[in-house]
């Protein structure tokens, strides 16, 4: 079964290079990997004659990430350095980077080089063939624990079942997007963001480019299990109210069990059998209490998101920007979205 949302418009090949290209790379405590990232980006940029900008976003790093990317932006004319006022999170840093881009095509990749820049030429070829979104799909995931692989395997399949939205399996945020897809994505300003799900939601013509994901070049993962779990919760609550429906079913099931329990107790009482049991009373109390707290917790997740969205605070705050590689390049005209 295909994991790509069906398209209802005719795909038209472009058969040309893009007018310009932007790369969005969020960085958080990446001082160990930045020199190699810079070298490989220099090799990529040297291959093309059209203008290219690399937007490096420092998401509140505590090491030398900002001084390094700040100096890179002065030495390499293609680098734009953006420093956020604090750590806003990976998904929000990606959003900030997208807001800063001016290229006709935009590529999102991580700084750890697990998303190899060398795959971009293949993605560009698919763009030339008419695809608006070209995402990297992992065949293998080197250097990751069995538990993390299982969590990712289970998440995509559970999400697809309960949300009714087909996010391509075994993917991350590594993808190339046409400007019209970027414009559509930028119009979605919810606070709890699941970028790969949002990209699937906007539709357009999408295609996978498969690759073997290498280990991190240096440093440690910025997505431990705790953050991965929170991202999964954000994904589910952003795209479906199925947990609320589950809470309703849980309440109905518990009520049915309680009613059945009452009928059994009354029937036994009528035939002279009684249970003077502390155990049965405590079991009923704990069961009902657990169900009520679970339902309240699910409701709280949604109410909290409504509260935060209602505050209408900006998604992020920028502390400093250095460099404007495509300052003289007008972005393509925006496409209308219904």
The confidence score (pLDDT) of residue 195 equals 82
The confidence score (pLDDT) of residue 1 equals 42
CB atoms within 10 A of CB 307: 10
Bigger pLDDT: 130 vs 220: 130
CATH architecture of 21-239+316-322: Alpha-Beta Complex (3.90)
Tell how far CA 314 is from the center of its chain. Answer: 19
User: In whole angstroms, what is the distance from residue 77 CA to residue 100 CA?
Assistant: 16
CB atoms within 10 A of CB 68: 21
The confidence score (pLDDT) of residue 316 equals 87
Q: What is the residue-wise DSSP string for 155-212? A: HHHHHHHHH---PPTTEEEEEEEEHHHHHHHHT---SS--HHHHHHHH-SSEEEEEEE
Residue 235, pLDDT above cutoff 90: no
Least confident piece of the model among 162-166, 226-230, 300-304: 226-230
Model-level pTM greater than 0.75? no
What 3-state DSSP class applies to 31? coil
| Per-residue pLDDT tens digits for 59-84 | 988 989 999 999 998 888 899 999 99
Quote the percentage of the chain above a pLDDT of 90: 22
User: In whole angstroms, what is the distance from residue 135 CA to residue 3 CA?
Assistant: 12
User: In whole angstroms, what is the distance from residue 71 CA to residue 89 CA?
Assistant: 23
CA distances (Å), origin 283, targets 269, 288, 292:
19, 9, 14
Q: Name the residue ranges covered by the structural domains of the chain.
A: 21-239+316-322, 242-311
Determine contact, residues 107/45, Cβ cutoff 8 Å.
Answer: no
Residue 301, pLDDT above cutoff 80: no
């Amino acid at each position: 079964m295909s994991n790509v949302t069906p398209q209802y418009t005719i795909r038209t090949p472009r058969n040309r290079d893009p007018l310009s290209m932007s790369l969005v790379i969020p960085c958080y405590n990446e001082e160990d990997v930045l020199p190699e990232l810079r070298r490989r980006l220099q090799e990529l940029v040297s291959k093309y004659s059209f203008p290219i900008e690399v937007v490096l976003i420092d998401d509140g790093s505590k090491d030398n990430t900002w001084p390094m990317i700040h100096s890179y932006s002065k030495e390499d004319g293609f680098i734009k350095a953006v420093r956020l006022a604090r750590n806003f999170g990976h998904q929000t840093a990606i959003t900030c980077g997208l807001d800063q881009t001016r290229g006709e095509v935009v590529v999102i990749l991580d700084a750890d080089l697990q998303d190899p820049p060398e795959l971009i030429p293949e993605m560009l070829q698919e763009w030339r063939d008419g695809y608006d979104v070209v995402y990297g799909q992992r065949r293998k995931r080197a250097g990751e624990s069995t538990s993390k692989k299982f969590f990712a395997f289970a998440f995509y399949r559970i999400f697809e079942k309960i949300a009714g939205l087909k996010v391509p399996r075994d993917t991350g945020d590594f993808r190339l997007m046409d400007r019209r897809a970027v414009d559509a994505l930028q119009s979605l300003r919810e606070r709890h963001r699941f970028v790969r799900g949002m990209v699937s939601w906007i539709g357009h013509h999408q295609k996978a480019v498969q690759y073997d994901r290498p280990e991190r070049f240096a440093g440690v993962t910025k997505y431990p299990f705790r953050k991965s779990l929170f991202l999964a919760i954000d994904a589910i609550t952003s795209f479906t109210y199925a947990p609320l429906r589950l809470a309703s079913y849980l309440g109905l099931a518990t009520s049915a069990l309680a009613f059945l329990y009452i009928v059994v107790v009354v029937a036994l009482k009528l035939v002279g059998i009684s249970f003077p049991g502390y155990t049965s009373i405590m079991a009923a109390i704990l069961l009902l209490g657990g169900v009520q707290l679970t339902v309240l917790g699910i409701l709280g997740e949604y109410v909290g998101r409504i509260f935060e969205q209602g505050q209408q605070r900006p998604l992020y705050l920028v502390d400093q920007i250095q460099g404007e590689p495509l300052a003289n390049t007008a972005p393509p005209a925006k496409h209308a979205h219904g």
